[in-house]
Amino acid sequence: MTLGDARNLKPLTLHVPEPRFRPGDAADFGDLEVPPAGAAPRPDTAAHPRDFTDLAYTMVRVLDEQHQAVGAWNPRLSPDTLRRMLRHMATVRAFDERMFRAQRQGKTSFYMKSLGEEAVAVAAAHALDAEDMCFPSYRQQGLLIARGCPLVDMMNQIYSNTGDKLQGKQLPIMYSEKRFGFFSISGNLTTQYPQAVGWAMASASKGDTRIAATWCGEGSTAEGDFHSALTFATVYRAPVIFNVVNNQWAISSFSGFAGAEATTFAARAIGYGIAGLRVDGNDPLAVYAATLWAAERARTNVGPTLIEHFTYRAEGHSTSDDPSQYRSTGEPTAWPLGDPIRRLKDHLVAIGEWDDARQEAMDREVAEEVRAAQKAAEANGILGHGLAQPLDSLFDGVFEEMPWHLREQRQMMIDEEAASGRPWARK
């Protein structure tokens, strides 16, 4: 091309992604392609990823419009298991609502709800082995609840009170629970991905049978840690499950800024040569089935799997966020995949294993359980009561043996606090 030809070309333009609906717009997801339940084939867990790349572009769904479980991905769970999953999701929702109100009352500084995303964590927890290690993001409190973590312990951490086992050293909701295979949450995005791969590689190198699972939001897939983790997992066939929770919004930025306009997030697995599934994240049975399938691949040394959970964040990113400033208020109700709790409840009703009376009774029981836990946690104090731990404990838990310079700094702090008359330092 000559210089003269170039001058005749139209100027270059930059594409800037734009969400479909803004405040004041009517939300309409009518053109969203939602394949029928049961349509997606279920490959053998030993199959090569190149043989089922189409599963990264469609959507694994189990519950149909008549609330029946259909298709090859139907996990055929017992009614008792389904009821336990339903109760755990209801507990997550009740816990979220009460802690949200606690933040609004000034009892804690921060909280993040998982409204509409409960199935992503709860169903996965039921599909994984209790000994498998979870590396979560900050909206997977359902993992802890499904694994039996006491609610009062979670609330103590949120309140940073005297019962907080982390001694107030983590922001509210950034739990760390070794007892329940729940790795410490980090406020830095996607650090958990390479950590999960490293843990999985260590498990494999030791000849263990435990696998790792990790979660991040779709916006976090733009972080370098995401791609570093997938590279290592690909090379070493690490026994790990990568969960991408595509809830359409990363704080106030919609999923297009992470690449959603170009392709699915599950399709990123294809470039790395690993298994990729796109799943209806509001279908608890689909989430369970996909996780169980991926876990079997990992446990039989076939390799990692990336699961995109297609769901929707029904409320704000956190208590610091106002979604009405950047998206249509009609989006949550217009979302075509429904509510995960309602869908599982309707399925149990449809198969004759549940009814409205039992649902109402369960909701009351769950609400009372959460209320009692809150009362017990607040007896240990709330964030607004001030410093709950001895000030010099700030230096504890960093090194196995505290180095000399930190001992000096701690003593300097104690001396300054004593001179100031503030009784914060340990006596």
Residues 278 and 412 in one domain: no
Residues 410 and 338 in one domain: no
pLDDT at residue number 199: 98
User: Is pLDDT of 378 > 90?
Assistant: yes
Q: Angle 284-299/118-127 helices, nearest 10 degrees?
A: 40
CA distance 316 to 389: 31
Tens of pLDDT, residue by residue over 227-277, are: 999 999 999 999 999 999 999 999 899 999 999 999 999 999 999 999 999
Which residues make Cβ contacts (< 8 Å) with residue 101, sequence separation at least 6? none
Residues 239 and 124 in one domain: yes
Residues 251 and 364 in one domain: yes
Burial (CB count <10 Å: 0-12, 13-18, 19+), residue 54 = exposed
Residues 302 and 179 in one domain: yes
CA distance 116 to 306: 21
How many domains is the chain built from?
2
Residues 168 and 223 in one domain: yes
Residues 339 and 408 in one domain: no
User: Is pLDDT of 4 > 70?
Assistant: no
For residue 286, give Cα distances in angstroms to 60, 61, 211. Answer: 6, 5, 20
Asked whether residue 27 is domain-assigned, the answer is: no
Confidence tier at 3 by pLDDT (50, 70, 90): low
Tokens 């609906």 label which residue? Answer: 21
Residues 349 and 415 in one domain: no
Asked whether residue 283 is domain-assigned, the answer is: yes
Per the structure, the complete domain to which residue 398 belongs is given by 390-420
Which residues make Cβ contacts (< 8 Å) with residue 206, sequence separation at least 6? none
**By C-alpha distance, which of 234, 238, 240 is closest to 216?**
240
pLDDT at residue number 391: 82
Asked whether residue 367 is domain-assigned, the answer is: yes
Residues 278 and 310 in one domain: yes
Q: Which CATH number covers residue 353?
A: 3.40.50.970
DSSP string over 320-346: T--GGGTS-TTHHHH-TT--HHHHHHH
Confidence tier at 427 by pLDDT (50, 70, 90): very low
Task: Please indicate whether residue 296 or residue 1 has the higher confidence score (pLDDT).
Answer: 296
Residues 264 and 118 in one domain: yes
Asked whether residue 32 is domain-assigned, the answer is: no
First vs last C-alpha separation in the chain: 80
pLDDT at residue number 116: 97
Confidence tier at 43 by pLDDT (50, 70, 90): very high
Asked whether residue 5 is domain-assigned, the answer is: no
Residues 118 and 240 in one domain: yes
Residues 299 and 409 in one domain: no
Confidence tier at 417 by pLDDT (50, 70, 90): confident
Q: Model-level pTM? A: 0.95
Task: Give me the percent of the chain exceeding a pLDDT of 90.
Answer: 89
pLDDT (average), residues 285-292: 98
Tens of pLDDT, residue by residue over 169-209, are: 999 999 999 999 999 999 999 999 999 999 999 999 999 99
Asked whether residue 15 is domain-assigned, the answer is: no
Asked whether residue 344 is domain-assigned, the answer is: yes
Asked whether residue 36 is domain-assigned, the answer is: no
